[in-house]
């Protein structure tokens, strides 16, 4: 929602010792104004345009969804003449179709165009407000997820706008995110004090060193694991042949596209099947591959501490906070890692889009996704285990059960 608003917010960013910090990223989470601090640590966010995004109050769960998807049709109502755009992308980010309409006030029901078998991303823009969802098309049927799409902010006319409220988010490499709620669009002399990341390291049996960062009660590695041996010195088979990968039901690892580039392999790490994880011997002593519950703990910490792309502290909008600042394919969805990589990685988790190896033995996803195993098996299918993932086109940390033959990256958590 847009309306005329003058914003003038300024201040200084310093470290805990009182030293000014140059180059910190400063932005308003919802209004999406952004800048970086100067040599003296100062910043100014200003706008007097008539197209400022206004951070309206969130809707309660009891309210009717703004946009409903049911039986392949979008249903919604507008109170004014509206610009409607529907764009359909494939999972590589290629635009397949775009249609734009001018809608009169009233109720509308628009069919979702039929697509061939596959997974597609649908982006709906209505008067500048954007919604994205995944559409799974099969030959005989189409399953649309989710069945209802709810706007994060309720619709109000400009004359009914709530008092200004936004989150000022300050991030910089080597520091935890600083979040401050702003209720006055004309606020000056803000003093931001940045807390340095609690960092460390851990070394595997081969002497590879992995950086670590503490998030709340957990200490995580922020580099992908790459040891070719278990912690008891047992060699993990390096499987390069696709057919052999498919038939392997025991520990195995590889590098993406069977790379022999030592620099690239150090950066992106190795891809392990879940049978390697299940040995319980991959991590060095005092460390372990995280469970699904431990991933949830990390997710909840990041959400509650303001790492969502809009600065909110509910829902799962943390992908850009976890994604690295480099190597992601471009994608234009707000809050997605591929949109503006300079704004990524405010948490320091540094998830790289290293791709994965399919259970069929082929490689896929370099530049588009980061997959991480956990120790937890699927409760529905003994051939599956849970994997947590970040995609270049989505704003959340995902979780899905995958074949145990999947080749996926690995991060570690310190024992308590």
- Among 226, 172, 210, CA closest to 194: 172
- pLDDT, tens only, 206-250: 999 999 999 999 999 999 999 999 999 999 999 999 999 999 999
φ, ψ for residue 298 (rounded to 5)?
A: -60, -45
- pLDDT, tens only, 117-144: 567 777 777 766 666 666 655 433 333 3
CA distance 385 to 407: 12
- Please say whether the beta carbons of 302 and 245 come within 8 A: no
Cross-strand pairs, 203: 209
The rounded percent of the chain whose pLDDT value lies above 90 is 66
DSSP annotation of 407 reads B
The model's pTM is 0.75
Q: Is the dihedral of CA 332, 335, 340, 345 positive or negative?
A: negative
- pLDDT, tens only, 198-213: 999 999 999 999 999 9
pLDDT of residue 78: 78
Domains within the chain, CATH numbers bracketed? 2-55+164-194 (2.60.40.10), 67-151 (2.60.40), 200-414 (no CATH)
- Please say whether the beta carbons of 209 and 225 come within 8 A: no
């Amino acid at each position: 929602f847009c309306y005329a608003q003058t914003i003038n917010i300024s201040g200084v960013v310093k470290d805990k010792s009182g030293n000014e910090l140059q180059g910190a990223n400063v932005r308003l989470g919802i209004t999406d104004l952004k800048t970086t601090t100067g040599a003296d640590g100062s910043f100014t966010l200003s706008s007097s345009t008539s197209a400022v995004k206004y951070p309206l109050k969130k809707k309660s769960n009891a309210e009717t969804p703004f946009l409903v998807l049911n039986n392949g049709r979008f249903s919604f109502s507008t109170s004014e003449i509206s610009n409607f755009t529907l764009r359909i992308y494939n999972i590589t980010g290629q635009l397949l179709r775009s249609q734009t309409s001018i809608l009169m006030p009233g109720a509308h029901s628009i069919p979702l165009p039929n697509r061939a078998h596959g997974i597609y991303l649908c982006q709906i823009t209505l008067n500048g407000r954007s919604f994205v969802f995944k559409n799974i098309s099969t030959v005989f049927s189409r399953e649309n997820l989710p069945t209802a799409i709810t706007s994060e902010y309720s619709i109000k006319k400009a004359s009914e706008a709530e008092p200004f409220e936004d989150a000022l988010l300050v991030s910089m490499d080597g520091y935890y995110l600083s979040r401050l709620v702003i209720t006055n669009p004309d606020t000056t002399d803000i003093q931001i004090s940045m807390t340095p990341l609690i960092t460390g390291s851990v070394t595997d049996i081969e002497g590879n060193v992995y950086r670590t960062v503490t998030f709340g009660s957990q200490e995580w590695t922020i580099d992908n694991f790459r040891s070719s041996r278990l912690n008891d010195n047992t060699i993990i088979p390096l499987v390069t042949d696709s057919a052999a990968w498919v038939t392997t039901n025991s520990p195995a690892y590889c590098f993406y596209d069977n790379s022999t580039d030592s620099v690239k392999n150090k950066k992106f790490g190795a891809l392990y099947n879940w049978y390697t994880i299940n040995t319980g011997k991959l991590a060095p002593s005092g460390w372990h591959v995280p469970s699904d519950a431990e991933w949830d703990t990390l997710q909840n910490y990041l959400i509650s501490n303001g790492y969502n792309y809009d600065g909110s502290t509910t829902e799962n909008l943390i992908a850009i906070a976890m994604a690295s600042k480099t190597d992601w394919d471009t994608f234009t969805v707000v809050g997605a890692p591929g949109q503006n990589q300079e704004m990524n990685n405010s948490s320091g988790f540094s998830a790289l889009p290293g791709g994965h190896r399919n259970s069929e033995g082929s490689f896929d996803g370099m530049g588009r996704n980061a997959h991480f195993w956990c120790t937890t098996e699927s409760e529905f299918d003994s051939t599956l285990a849970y994997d947590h993932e970040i995609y270049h086109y989505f704003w959340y940390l995902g979780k899905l059960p995958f074949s145990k033959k999947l080749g996926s990256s690995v991060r570690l958590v310190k024992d308590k």
